[in-house]
Chain A
Amino acid sequence: MKKTTMIVGFFLIVVLCFIPGHFFAAVPETVKVGIVLPLTGDQAKFGEIEKLSFEMAMEEINAAGGIKGKKLELIIEDDTGRPEVGRSVVEKLITKDKVVMVGGGYSSSVTYAVAGVCQQNRMPFLVNTGSADNITTSGWDYIFRLNPPVSEYAGAIESLLKAVIKPKTVAILHENSLFGTKGAQEFEETCKGLGYKVLLKEGYEHGGVDFKPVLIKVKYLKPDVIYMVSYIMDASLLMKQSKELKLTPKMFVGGGAGFTLPEFQQNAGVSSEKVISATLWHEVLPYPGAKDYYNKFAARHKKPTEYHGAEAYAAAYVVADVLKRAKSFNNTDIKQALSMTNMMTAFGPVKFTSYGKHKNQNRLPTYVVQWINGKSELVWPAKLATKKLVYPVDWLKVWRY
């Protein structure tokens, strides 16, 4: 009786293994580029905004003639926000889909793991979001990064703190993830350098819903500034619960990621008002195509976009530019073309350089946005600002107590 089971079962597996491989033989007319993004799981919102932007850019590139007469095909795969899944996804892209290069990379943990596979397989990988420093400080020569490393995210925040808020004490909250931990460590160093006292630096568990215990601790310590490095749900909940506890520092500061997404404002509602965050991009920046991209995205998807979307959109254009310049589609030529990149995108100028411990890292300035009347407004540096920074803030009035 068990015999039939085994035989039927095993042959089913074997047959399953055979079919798809032959069904999906490569269509020769396209140039395939693999994109790894979180489309399900906690980070799905970031993955979605990047996916829509990648697809928009791909259509535009193909409408403009594609690459050397071939169409650009982005194979967007779901990494579910987990490093080990990201690894298998990128292996599949390399061995089964035979992509010529890899892009995407949202969370730092996943990006780091994917970058390891790419380096080992000598597969050029253009990272557009994963920001932990070690991704470009590991000496990997096939890994290129479009966005600044997390240690530079707070650059504009730092100058704003120095010029306007002048805090004496700071509390730092962060998610226990590679991005959160590194972002918090870097900011702690920054504060020490500026002579601000860090009263508390505490990580919280990924997927947490009750932040009141730690927020009560913060309320008791009365810091001037609360700096948070969070993804999306936790960012909204932190602000909502701060409002409920009437926790009123001089300023709430977000370290990018969750604090700039439109969903942050939707979820947190009035609690998101006047919160400032580090950002890498804003639609009013004087880059060619920035405003265009924002308008097209808003018209098509009926919602605003922000820096993650712009990173993806620009990354697609960099990929197209690189593939057009590459002598052939083999890995060394693409890597060569990547390292020669020098172009302007909607996200800003792109040129990969090596400095400090970083290798193949694009350098960009950072900015500060503030949520004013439900809109994310660029407030720093002051000469580019769309609205003046609202400071000091009477939080209780903002929260309509």
Chain B
Amino acid sequence: MKAKKITLIILGIVSLIFPLVIRSDYYQHLVIIALMWVVIGSSWNLLAGYTGQVSFGHAIFFGTGAYTAGIFVTKLGMSAWWGMMFGGIVAMVFALFVGWICFRLRGPYFALATLAGGEIIRLIVTNWESLTEGMMGILIIQSFRSKLPYYYIALTLAFLCVFVIYLVMKSKWGYYFVSIREDQDAAESMGINTTLYKNVSLLISAFFTGMAGAFYMNYMAFIDPQVVYSLHYISIMAILVGIVGGVATTLGPAVGAFIMVGVQETFRSAFFGLAPKWISQAHALVFGLLVIFVIMFLANGVLGDWGKIKRYVFRIKASN
């Protein structure tokens, strides 16, 4: 327990001084993106990992957060940072609708409903040009030239998200969530209002994903519906981050986020220019192989199956 605390403190210090040591904008950018994925992955994990409601539609909340921030600029002429305040809340409003409709369904049917929901919203945003500018997208001018403010905002957001989820899972709510995942009917018969607590889990998840979306608008300064409501690059990526890192573990999605962003960029840039160029054309393939590998050998993710990795990779006996 003590060792764990020390590790966390070291991790905290390292993350605080990281951008002061590594001055390259490029690496700072990668870590900022990874931190954003920590938020999305952890939020997805709360709903899917802990509460057992596998969502294929987290792009709904991400995109809504991003568009809230964008519309603050284009329609109200205010700063996109207002989106950081309201993005999460607007995403929660959408979550209420999603929950109202989709929580009548269970298991794979719920997953399919969220998948459809994400696509429906993307089409609406694409075609509602008077509000969203359609495929032209929303382009704003970033508030800061330096990456430092963005880094610390992303870090704070990631920390808040992981910490809140940690606290929630320690509380009574957390036990309700897990009991719903394990057996919804049993939970219901124990007197847990399962519909209410599934919605609570969804609302928390949507709030943080919406915040991440608003952050994305502020940081990347350009969104269009295919970017922020993307099934592949947001909804599925959220699932991959969770699965690779470790479903239903506090820090699993955080680890998963760094792995996924790292793998993606390593292959896109062909090992930072070291490998021949054709490697970069295989980046989609590598993603697929990684997922197959994780599902076959590390079904609980990198953090969930850490014991297994240690046994095989570091050849340490399975004493613990």
Q: Does B280 contact A (CB under 8 A)?
A: yes
Residue of A nearest to B145 (CB): A120
Residue of B nearest to A82 (CB): B227
Q: Does B132 contact A (CB under 8 A)?
A: no
Interface string of A161-195 (1 = CB under 8 A from B): 00000000000000011101110000000000000
Interface string of A15-26 (1 = CB under 8 A from B): 011101101100
Least Cβ distance of B64 to chain A in Å?
17
Residue of A nearest to B33 (CB): A88
Chain A stretch 46-85: residues in CB contact (< 8 A) with chain B: 78, 80, 82-85
Q: Given the complex of chains A and B, what is the CA–CA distance between A345 and B307 in angstroms?
A: 64
Q: Are A109 and B137 in contact (CB under 8 A)?
A: yes
Q: Which label, helix, strand, loop or mixed, suits the secondary structure of the A interface?
A: helix
Knowing A6-B11, A20-B273, A120-B141, the reply to whether A176 touches B29 (Cβ < 8 A) is no
Residues of chain A with a CB closer than 8 A to B27's CB: 17, 21
Q: Does B182 contact A (CB under 8 A)?
A: no
Knowing A6-B7, A112-B139, A132-B136, the reply to whether A1 touches B26 (Cβ < 8 A) is no
Q: Are B221 and A7 in contact (CB under 8 A)?
A: no
Residues of chain B with a CB closer than 8 A to A24's CB: 272-273
Stretch of A89-97, A360-368, A377-385 with 4 or more beta carbons under 8 angstroms from chain B? A89-97
Name A20's contact: one of B10, B18, B145, B272 (CB within 8 Å).
B272
Chain B stretch 1-32: residues in CB contact (< 8 A) with chain A: 3-4, 6-8, 10-11, 14, 18, 22, 24-27, 29
Q: Are A134 and B14 in contact (CB under 8 A)?
A: no
Q: Does B215 contact A (CB under 8 A)?
A: no
Residue of B nearest to A174 (CB): B135
Least Cβ distance of A240 to chain B in Å?
25
Residue of A nearest to B309 (CB): A5
Residue of A nearest to B258 (CB): A13
Residues of chain A with a CB closer than 8 A to B287's CB: none
Q: Does A217 contact B (CB under 8 A)?
A: no
Q: Does A251 contact B (CB under 8 A)?
A: no
Residue of B nearest to A19 (CB): B272
Q: Given the complex of chains A and B, what is the CA–CA distance between A92 and B310 in angstroms?
A: 35
Residues of chain B with a CB closer than 8 A to A178's CB: 135-137, 224
Q: Are A95 and B26 in contact (CB under 8 A)?
A: yes
Q: Are A116 and B221 in contact (CB under 8 A)?
A: yes
Q: Does B222 contact A (CB under 8 A)?
A: yes
Q: Are A113 and B26 in contact (CB under 8 A)?
A: no
Residues of chain A with a CB closer than 8 A to B284's CB: 40
Least Cβ distance of B162 to chain A in Å?
14
Residues of chain B with a CB closer than 8 A to A203's CB: 126-127
Interface string of A122-165 (1 = CB under 8 A from B): 00000000001010001000000000000000000000000000
Knowing A5-B306, A13-B258, the reply to whether A134 touches B268 (Cβ < 8 A) is no
Residues of chain A with a CB closer than 8 A to B142's CB: 120
Least Cβ distance of A272 to chain B in Å?
27
Residue of B nearest to A16 (CB): B262
Chain A stretch 346-389: residues in CB contact (< 8 A) with chain B: none
Q: Does A400 contact B (CB under 8 A)?
A: no
Q: Does B226 contact A (CB under 8 A)?
A: yes
Q: Does B193 contact A (CB under 8 A)?
A: no
Q: Are A113 and B222 in contact (CB under 8 A)?
A: yes
Q: Are B255 and A9 in contact (CB under 8 A)?
A: yes
Report how many residues on chain B are interfacial, defined by Cβ distance under 8 Å.
Answer: 50
Q: Are B222 and A83 in contact (CB under 8 A)?
A: yes
Chain B stretch 269-314: residues in CB contact (< 8 A) with chain A: 269, 272-274, 280-281, 283-284, 303, 306-307, 310
Q: Are B220 and A87 in contact (CB under 8 A)?
A: yes
Q: Given the complex of chains A and B, what is the CA–CA distance between A17 and B24 in angstroms?
A: 9
Residues of chain B with a CB closer than 8 A to A82's CB: 226-227, 233
Name B222's contact: one of A6, A10, A112 (CB within 8 Å).
A112
Residues of chain A with a CB closer than 8 A to B18's CB: 14
* 29 residue pairs bridging A and B, Cβ less than 8 Å apart: A2-B7, A6-B7, A6-B8, A7-B7, A13-B262, A14-B14, A14-B22, A17-B27, A21-B24, A39-B281, A78-B268, A80-B268, A82-B226, A84-B222, A87-B221, A87-B222, A91-B25, A92-B269, A96-B25, A109-B137, A109-B224, A112-B137, A112-B222, A116-B221, A178-B135, A178-B136, A178-B224, A181-B134, A181-B136
Residue of A nearest to B224 (CB): A109
Q: Does A206 contact B (CB under 8 A)?
A: yes
Q: Does A3 contact B (CB under 8 A)?
A: yes
Q: Are B226 and A3 in contact (CB under 8 A)?
A: no
Name B7's contact: one of A3, A40, A132 (CB within 8 Å).
A3
Residues of chain B with a CB closer than 8 A to A80's CB: 268
Q: Are B137 and A83 in contact (CB under 8 A)?
A: yes
Residues of chain B with a CB closer than 8 A to A10's CB: 11, 14
Residue of A nearest to B119 (CB): A205
Q: Does B171 contact A (CB under 8 A)?
A: no
6 shortest interchain CB distances as A-B pairs: A95-B25, A20-B272, A113-B222, A3-B7, A96-B26, A3-B3
Q: Does B320 contact A (CB under 8 A)?
A: yes
Residues of chain B with a CB closer than 8 A to A87's CB: 220-222
Q: Given the complex of chains A and B, what is the CA–CA distance between A180 and B224 in angstroms?
A: 14
Q: Are A88 and B24 in contact (CB under 8 A)?
A: no
Q: Given the complex of chains A and B, what is the CA–CA distance between A109 and B4 in angstroms?
A: 46
Residues of chain B with a CB closer than 8 A to A20's CB: 272-274
Residues of chain A with a CB closer than 8 A to B11's CB: 6, 10
Least Cβ distance of B280 to chain A in Å?
6
Q: Are A95 and B24 in contact (CB under 8 A)?
A: yes
Knowing A2-B4, A40-B281, the reply to whether A176 touches B139 (Cβ < 8 A) is no
Residues of chain B with a CB closer than 8 A to A95's CB: 24-26
Q: Given the complex of chains A and B, what is the CA–CA distance between A180 and B226 in angstroms?
A: 14
Residues of chain A with a CB closer than 8 A to B145's CB: 120
Name B226's contact: one of A6, A40, A134, A206 (CB within 8 Å).
A206
Chain A stretch 90-123: residues in CB contact (< 8 A) with chain B: 91-92, 95-96, 109, 112-113, 116-117, 120
